[in-house]
Every structure is written in C-alpha cells, then in structure tokens.
Amino acid sequence: MHRTARSNSRSRFEVLLDLCLALALGSVLTFAQSASGQPKFEVASIRRTESTPLMVHPPEMHHGRMTASEVTLRIMAATSYGLTPNRIFGPPALDKNRFDLQAKAPDGLPDTELKPLLQSLLKDRFRMASHAETREMNVYDLEVSNGGPKMSIYPQPARTPAGLDNVRGSEYRGSPTMSRFAAMLSGPAGRPVLDKTGLSERYNVILKFSAGLPPDGDAAEPTAPDLFTAVQQQLGLRLRPARAKLDVVVVDSIDEMPSEN
C-alpha cells in the first residue's frame, strides 16, 4: 500500500517537472488576435482518451507537426501561450478530460510559429474565450546563496542552443540559463519561480531531490533532500518566498469536449 502511494506521488511530481522544463523553452506570452485572423492547422485531430498516464509531456512540435498524448486542456492552453500551467486560470473543464492531439501546420511554417495555431485550435474546436491580465501571486525568487554558486560554467555562450536536458524522476541534468532553470523549477516548487540570481552564463546543473512523502506517510526515508534543501546544498542557490506581479492567462469559458474532427 505504501509502495503504491509513493509511486503515484512521484509520478505526479514528475509530470510537473517535465511540463515546466518543456515550457521553459518558450516563455513569451502571445495572443492570437482572433481564430479567423491567424494561420490554422491544415489538419487537426483531437480525441478524448480514457487512460491515466504515469508521465505527461506537453505537445511536441517538430517539422510542422504538433503531437500530444493524454494532455488536459490546461496543458494545451499553457503550451499555446508559452506559460507554465500554474499561470493558467479558469474553469474546472481545464482539468476534467485528457486528449490525444495530432495536427499539421501549413507547409513552410517554422515550428516556432506553431503556438498561435494551437490557440486558434482551442478557440475553434473548444470555443475557448480567454484574456490576459496581470496578477500579484506568491512566487519564489531564485537567488545566489551566501557562499556563491557551486555550479561550473558551461563552456559555450548563452546564445547557443541549450542542448539536452535530462529529467529522470526527481533528478535534473542540463546546461540551462538561470532564467530557463527558474521556469523549470516552477512545477516542483508549486508556484512560479523567478530568476533573481543575476547570473548571465549557462551552467552545468545536476540536481537530485526528493518528491516528498506520500499523504499516508511511508516510513521509508527519502533518498535525497527536498527540493529547497537540494537547490541550496548542491547548487549554491536558494528559493526565497516572495510576491510578484505576473502576466497570466484567464480562460473565461471553454467547452469540455471538442467539436467534431
């Protein structure tokens, strides 16, 4: 019983970690002016799925195609606006169902331009109505601890591609900028994380942390420190509670199920 509870707890934690890592790749809030005024997918299929995933990844965008498995409307909306899920607000329908998505963009459209197409798809097929606003929220500021950073500088300038980030369970390995790393931490930390380190380089980051004990209290000791302790001990950084005004998306209304394919 305890073993099952721990497995479920870790899988939920891994979902948040993977989502925020992927969404950290693009954090600019962009709104399509209207569904009819933006390019649309040439072909798009959305199917409800009954399966309950152990791991969830946000939609992948490669060579003009967008694919996703077992994602909620909140995840799709977060992807379409380049935000982490904890900056999407709206009705319960955002989390009620899961869907498989396959879509093809017009030929020649770069992958970097696919997010507005997903916005248009949500508006057309789910009748999503949304608006942007600024909200004051509880956040964590990612800062340098008193002893200074314990990470080594990645030997390439920050403007070059960031390379591969590897997430396995509650372990992160990568060479991110601190702004990207802060965005990745937003899921595991439970609230948005803002880069206040003042560090402009990319760093070699290896972070091992515990997802915490399940609600029924497994007696086994965690094999790694909690996230906050790990960030300080292993990286020479710290997460400090703070308040900040952030751009968010409010979904005013959205259908639970899409119109026909």
pLDDT digit of tens for each residue in the chain (261 aa)? Answer: 444 444 444 445 555 565 665 555 444 444 433 344 677 899 999 999 987 665 667 788 889 999 999 999 999 999 999 888 899 999 999 999 999 999 999 998 888 889 999 999 999 999 999 999 999 999 999 999 999 999 999 987 655 554 445 555 578 888 999 998 998 898 889 899 999 999 999 999 999 988 654 444 454 555 789 999 999 999 999 999 999 999 999 999 999 999 986
Quick one: which of 97, 137, 108 has its CA closest to 249?
137
- What span, in angstroms and rounded, lies between the C-alpha atoms of 144 and 178? 11
Q: How many residues does the chain have?
A: 261
Looking at residue 88, its pLDDT comes to: 96
Tokens describing residue 250: 């409010």
Q: Where exactly are the structural domains of the chain? A: 2-132, 136-245
Pairing of strands 193-195, 237-253: unpaired
- What span, in angstroms and rounded, lies between the C-alpha atoms of 227 and 14? 13
> What is the pTM for the complete model shown?
0.75
